[in-house]
Amino acid sequence: MCEVDYDKHYPPILSPLPTENRRTECEKDYKKMQSEMIYEIDSLPFPELIQELRSLVSRINEQKF
């Protein structure tokens, strides 16, 4: 199972993205989720999902709280 360090879940260091050394494991986990739990026909491939998350994280971390 892919793990995330939730201690880093606040701006400006929000980072729900998997580290590079966990990426392969997370991708396998995501593919399993796509086949068993995500019913959307056009769910994003893992690389695109990561890119979307990077964009979102960047926008969130730019905010002033």
Q: CA–CA separation, 61 vs 15, rounded Å?
A: 9
> Which residue reads 């400006």 in tokens?
12
pLDDT score of 29 = 96
The answer to whether the CB of 58 falls within 8 A of the CB of 12 is: no
Q: Whole-model pTM?
A: 0.76
| C-alpha span between 41 and 21 (Å, rounded) | 29
pLDDT digit string (tens) for the chain, length 65 residues? 667 677 767 778 777 888 899 999 999 999 999 999 999 889 999 999 999 999 998 998 888 77
Q: What is the pLDDT of residue 2?
A: 67
